[in-house]
Amino acid sequence: MERTLAIIKPDAIKHADDILYAIEAAGFTIIDKKRIQLTVDQARDFYVEHAGKPFYQPLTAFMSSGPVMVMILSRADAITAWRTLLGPTNSNAARESAPSSIRARFGTDGQRNACHGSDSPKSADREIRFFFPNATVQPLPNSVQIATFLEGAVYPVLTKGLVALCTEKPQNPTEWLGKWLMENNPARPRTIQP
């Protein structure tokens, strides 16, 4: 699973519920989100790679003009999928070539284009850390990795515990199994007292 940063910009915050619905309908998991008001300095720091470009000052002024919603999104190929869902950067162009995209539906123009999306894994890591400094940016395990872990580490121990449970037939099977798992946890080997 890949993660990306998404921002609902000030021009589209009034459509946040519709945008959140579109995000979830496209198969994204929202790992974290918060609604904030950026200061001009925060907007400048976030868009520092655009410093010196003609649109830098208007962009930072716009991004600090009202509340925004920042989110960590996750799914397979999240960066590309999110940018596809957004549509072309210019909302007018999006209305022509991708009329069902978020920018076509909720954006105004090239700058007031409803949402931001990270353009690369490196940018996503930096942008996630900017807004969510305590977030883990490592990718979530995929279904194959989860199945491999369960088959290798969980199922063998659990199977032994269930066999022992069926052999013992205790009064309180749930409590008994919990205690058995604690005593037979391979990650915490038993120590023998001298």
Binding-site residue ranges? 9, 55, 83, 89, 103, 113
Residue 116 annotated in active site = yes
**CA neighbours closer than 13 Å in the CB half-sphere of residue 67:** 8
In degrees and rounded to multiples of 5, residue 44 shows phi and psi of -65, -45
Cα dist. 60→38, 66, 118, 158, 194 in Å?
9, 11, 17, 55, 68
User: Of 116, 131, 132, 161, which is the active-site residue?
Assistant: 116
For residue 63, which of 134, 136, 131, 135 has the smallest C-alpha distance? 131
Bind-site residues for ATP:
9, 55, 83, 89, 103, 113
Show which residues are catalytic.
116
